[in-house]
Structure 1
Amino acid sequence: MTPPVFAHGNLRLYLLALLQERPRHGYELIQALAERFGGTYSPSAGTIYPRLSKLEEEGLVSKSTDGRKTVYEITAAGSAELDSRRHELDAIEDDLTDSVRRLADGVRAEVNDAMRSLRAELASAAREAKRAATSASASGGGAASGGSTNPHVESSRAVHEADIVLNEFRQQLRTDLRTHAHRGLVNSESVSVLKARLAQVRADVLATLAASE
């Protein structure tokens, strides 16, 4: 369904804006719209081509054939209409930017939730290791006389190192997401891949913990 930013007449105006940048065929217009909205909106051919035909009937665009592709180009009349409605286009662009920003915020929220869950598991393991180390020390079961390291101390140290790794990962990924969001490249597929990979990492870590029991 067409998103709210494309109220009546707004999609045709945005198509004119895309064609003013350069001539495009229909599929390129669909791709351009999907990229501008970070993958949150990808119109169908049944949405785009009727509007292009209407624009052609009104003399605002012209079309030519390039092999098997039909290329659309804005006309002087189309440019004139676009210039006269520039304030409307600016409003659409502002809404588009807000839409991409909301998507990026959603991705960051998903990352934060996943990281909090993994950190909670590691923190719980650290508390258990600390309690076990304290109990072992109280009962005289510390490091052996030969100088071997207490496994509970090693476990606590490993958890601390893992926490550092998680923080570094979170900061780097947030930077990457913000950079790509400004270019309109963050989409729902990115979120799905991220969630799947984080879930797999958590499962792998928990599997190593279970194997050590």
Structure 2
Amino acid sequence: MTPVFSHGSLRLYLLSLLAEQPRHGYELIQALSDRFGGTYSPSAGTIYPRLAKLEEDGLVTKTADGRKTVYEITDAGRSELLAREGELGRVESEVTESVRRLADEVRSGVSAAMKSLRADLASAARQAKTTASAAPASTHADAHLASTRALHEADLVLNEFRHQLRADLRTQAAGAGLPEETVSALRRQLDAVRASILATQP
């Protein structure tokens, strides 16, 4: 996946999130995921080192809240945000562009997986046609017709599935958010479906 934030931008964006309200680490990760419609969710290994550096620089403080650590912006942190207000506007533009790019990657992944599945179905149909050509002449035309009809029906099913899945993904992204691993999971499951279909071929 392509980089989401340019160098130093995530640090500034974390400050802006903490300026809204104190948060613990998981809440910051969730807030970032929500801002990106679920297409990006940073790891703890990405967030906590930056929080530690912000604390070291005196821009945030942390306090224990039970088993959680809550981070809060300091006056120095607010002063830095104010001084870099123009830069923060650029970061917001970066976020908007990143959301669009990541959404395109999700759509591209879905489209590529569907094309691969359709190609395999077409290959299976050609194989069936080749096998049928060895049959007696009286059954050859019937086998060819059945194969063509089956391929057409499979194409309709795939198109319906593609449109429905895209609608479902958009609904999820606009609501609860779309997990980062969705495309990978989709590829795995479609590969499994493809293997299952091809396994039924003679």
Which interval holds the TM-score relative to the shorter structure?
0.7 to 0.9
Amino acid at match of 2:12: L
Instruction: Using the TM superposition, give the Cα deviation of residue 87 of structure 1 relative to its aligned residue in structure 2, in angstroms.
Output: 2.4
Percent identity of equivalent pairs: 54
State TM-score, norm by structure 2.
Answer: 0.74
Instruction: Using the TM superposition, give the Cα deviation of residue 51 of structure 1 relative to its aligned residue in structure 2, in angstroms.
Output: 2.5
Q: How does 1:16-27 map to 2 (within 5 A)?
A: 16-27=15-26
Aligned residue in 2 for 1:42: 43
Aligned residue in 2 for 1:156: 148
CA distance in 2, matches of 1:98, 1:157: 44
Instruction: Using the TM superposition, give the Cα deviation of residue 114 of structure 1 relative to its aligned residue in structure 2, in angstroms.
Output: 2.1
* CA separation of 1:132 and 1:209: change in aligned 2, threshold 3 A: closer
Aligned residue in 1 for 2:158: 166
Amino acid at match of 1:18: L
Alignment check: 8 A CA contact 1:132 1:152 kept: no
Amino acid at match of 1:166: L
Amino acid at match of 2:19: Q
Instruction: Using the TM superposition, give the Cα deviation of residue 66 of structure 1 relative to its aligned residue in structure 2, in angstroms.
Output: 1.7
Tell me which moved more, 90-99 or 38-47: 38-47
Q: Which of the residues 56, 59, 68 maps onto 1:54? A: 56
Higher radius of gyration, 1 or 2: 1
Amino acid at match of 2:5: V
Tell me which moved more, 122-131 or 89-98: 122-131
Instruction: Using the TM superposition, give the Cα deviation of residue 6 of structure 1 relative to its aligned residue in structure 2, in angstroms.
Output: 4.0
Instruction: Using the TM superposition, give the Cα deviation of residue 108 of structure 1 relative to its aligned residue in structure 2, in angstroms.
Output: 2.2
Amino acid at match of 2:90: A
Amino acid at match of 2:161: F
Tell me which moved more, 34-43 or 91-100: 34-43
Amino acid at match of 1:155: S
Instruction: Using the TM superposition, give the Cα deviation of residue 203 of structure 1 relative to its aligned residue in structure 2, in angstroms.
Output: 0.5
Structure 2 unaligned segments of length 5 or more: list them: none
* CA separation of 1:111 and 1:69: change in aligned 2, threshold 3 A: closer
CA distance in 2, matches of 1:12, 1:116: 40
Deviations 1:72-97 (A, max 9, x none): 22345544543443321121122122
* CA separation of 1:69 and 1:118: change in aligned 2, threshold 3 A: closer
CA distance in 2, matches of 1:23, 1:189: 28
CA distance in 2, matches of 1:42, 1:124: 41
Amino acid at match of 1:121: D
How many residues end up aligned between the 2 structures?
197
Instruction: Using the TM superposition, give the Cα deviation of residue 185 of structure 1 relative to its aligned residue in structure 2, in angstroms.
Output: 3.8
Say which SS state the counterpart of residue 64 (structure 1) adopts.
strand
Q: Which of the residues 180, 193, 198 maps onto 2:190? A: 198
Alignment check: 8 A CA contact 1:25 1:72 kept: yes
Say which SS state the counterpart of residue 116 (structure 1) adopts.
helix
State the superposition RMSD in angstroms.
3.5
Aligned residue in 2 for 1:111: 110
Instruction: Using the TM superposition, give the Cα deviation of residue 36 of structure 1 relative to its aligned residue in structure 2, in angstroms.
Output: 4.3
* CA separation of 1:77 and 1:184: change in aligned 2, threshold 3 A: farther
Instruction: Using the TM superposition, give the Cα deviation of residue 160 of structure 1 relative to its aligned residue in structure 2, in angstroms.
Output: 1.3
